Structure 1
């Protein structure tokens, strides 16, 4: 299993002490697995959670008369969060490289999407490229941070993972379609079908503490996309950006955005998979119990 950060090691050590006298399949063991699962998920989300907290705080308390524009404050705050993540060894340098890649891929998309009017930011501050404030790239970096951390925290393994060049081709098609559908046919439904065909047989195996669980990979894509959609609603409420339909008053982001986030998950997984080569469960030398999808804890 990949090395953990000191805090992650303390989570496991605390659970191990708690379980020292507990039977492997007792209620105490199951409760501990559930608590550790929640702690690790929360820990994996720490970058995004900190960024969302700053967005909400800026919406509620940042003064309109401040000399520093709110968007510039958000950019500086995002930089500080990222620096602290590395300085306190909450992210490794290898993970940081993936996160920077997410940042660049996301910023390129932001530049195009704001230009064609898909969404917009307040035109303020100097820390921006055109109409795109630099903090926007950190929102994609937060997704990347979650992906690389959850990959390590839960020691993810994959049965029937497709060939990486095939997944890269699907991801490239998805990324191109985010741009091209403004000029030619929108192929998102074709790409969605391709995702189901390519990843439909793949099953994700993950370790919480002492036990391993498994879940269809496509289901995990959908669940993570759902949580990103919830975070998007918080971010648009905070005024980080707005869709055209929200200009006259905020309302929840439509559920149709789930498809876009689902497809974005494919790009995210492929980017991470090029750094952390997906490993089959057969390589797991441990003898932990496997739990079928019907009784697995869903992440």
Structure 2
């Protein structure tokens, strides 16, 4: 069987090998998020209404089990787990504020919760961090013209603060979009599927934000959380939410970069993808 698969692989054109390898690596990088999404859908479809354990509490325990399994089977490093814990803390803090402000609600009961926020919700942010950390390793990400750390950290902090302050003062979102373009507009990310390819980093962040937006639509469809316009009758999450996810992606990317130091390349072509000094 191995010989047959090897011959079949050798007979594929390079483009097909790239597409297949990219898809497999993406699926593997999405392991945490994919399992969390599967839990949301499965509990929506099959969780007994009279179960002694609340659905949200089952999701929380399931998320803990997934995180533990990733560490036990060495699918995630301890340093990555520490960053992902930061995602959980940062996400939960935002959830506490946003639910209090009425941005969205968690309509079901739970024992494992802080105020109105069930603790499984923080793992949804952790899933994003896990994806970025795993994809960074699997695709061997390298960068050309990556901005200095002080600039990326300052931008990430400003974005996070604005998620809170825009409820009380001017929303700086447009300025933050412009700042992200200034910081990352010249940055190219090199990633290796079967061969090495390049992509503008901003485009990569937008594509991941789009993927998360699709996942969020599935999450709200299962009733795991709801926006004000989704009560009674479910409606798709507004496209404007993509902007929020794009900004959150920058925070996520910067957090992961504190563990996976951005490796620089010395030229702007895949054939010249050599580590810089």
State whether TM-score is above 0.5.
yes
Distance verdict in 2 for CA 1:21–1:179, change over 3 Å = closer
Alignment-derived partner of residue 6 in structure 2: 18
| SS in structure 1 at match of 2:189 | strand
Cα deviation for residue 276 of structure 1 reads 1.3
| SS in structure 2 at match of 1:158 | strand
Matched, 1:161 2:149: no
2:143, 2:262 within 8 Å by CA — same for their partners in 1? yes
Cα deviation for residue 28 of structure 1 reads 2.8
2:9, 2:17 within 8 Å by CA — same for their partners in 1? no
Q: How many residues align?
A: 270
Once the two structures are superposed, what CA deviation does each residue of 1:35-67 show, in whole Å capped at 9, x if it has no partner? 111000000001000000010011111111111
Cα deviation for residue 20 of structure 1 reads 10
Once the two structures are superposed, what CA deviation does each residue of 1:217-248 show, in whole Å capped at 9, x if it has no partner? 00001000000000000000011100011012
Cα deviation for residue 277 of structure 1 reads 1.2
1:213, 1:290 within 8 Å by CA — same for their partners in 2? no
- d(CA) in 2 for partners of 1:33, 1:259: 30
2:190 to 185, 205, 218: 205
2:197, 2:270 within 8 Å by CA — same for their partners in 1? no
Matched, 1:274 2:258: yes
Alignment-derived partner of residue 235 in structure 2: 251
For structure 2, the residue ranges without an aligned partner over 5 or more in a row are none
Matched, 1:260 2:244: yes
Cα deviation for residue 87 of structure 1 reads 1.4
2:181, 2:202 within 8 Å by CA — same for their partners in 1? yes
Alignment-derived partner of residue 124 in structure 1: 109
Once the two structures are superposed, what CA deviation does each residue of 1:118-141 show, in whole Å capped at 9, x if it has no partner? 000024121000000000000000
| SS in structure 2 at match of 1:282 | coil
Once the two structures are superposed, what CA deviation does each residue of 1:177-227 show, in whole Å capped at 9, x if it has no partner? 000000001110110111011110000011113x21000000001000000
TM-score, normalised relative to structure 2: 0.92
For structure 1, the residue ranges without an aligned partner over 5 or more in a row are 1-13, 292-299
Cα deviation for residue 288 of structure 1 reads 6.9
Matched, 1:28 2:28: no
2:221 to 237, 241, 247: 237
Cα deviation for residue 84 of structure 1 reads 1.2
- d(CA) in 1 for partners of 2:125, 2:55: 19
1:214, 1:290 within 8 Å by CA — same for their partners in 2? no
